[in-house]
Amino acid sequence: MATKSSAQSPLEKTSLASLDQKLVMAKRYAHEGVKAGAKAAVVAGIATAIPTLASARMLPWARANLNHTAQALIISTVAGAAYFIVADKTVLATARRNSFNQQPSNFEA
């Protein structure tokens, strides 16, 4: 029966280092996505809150039908959607951009 050697082959060391590097890059992409998504959520929340709150005070239909819960739901839905859309697009764009930058090294022997 063959025993496992405690020493790793160069291929295993390279793959572990590569895996660690990929994990670090994925964390960085995710962090960039979170920052971009948070900024978009703040902007979208403010851009939605102003007309929603103004219409709830000025328009008779909105005054009658949009209570505080409905107003908060409208604003938070738009902010949440903006967060997830921008964060996802940022992570994918960053990963795509960096994969194109690293593409020639992937084909080296």
Question: Do the domain assignments include residue 10?
Answer: no
Number of domains within the chain: 1
Question: Do the domain assignments include residue 17?
Answer: no
One-letter amino acid for residue 27 of the chain: K
User: CB-based contacts of 82: which residues, under 8 Å, 6+ apart?
Assistant: 37, 40, 41, 43, 44, 45
Question: Do the domain assignments include residue 13?
Answer: no
Question: Do the domain assignments include residue 39?
Answer: yes
pLDDT band at 6 (very low <50, low <70, confident <90, very high): low
Question: Do the domain assignments include residue 95?
Answer: yes
Alpha carbons 52 and 69: distance in angstroms, whole number: 12
Question: Do the domain assignments include residue 41?
Answer: yes
What is the tens place of the pLDDT at every residue in 16-46? 778 888 888 889 999 999 999 999 999 999 9
Tell me if residue 24 falls in helix, strand or coil: helix
pTM of the entire predicted model? 0.72
Range of the domain at 44: 29-99
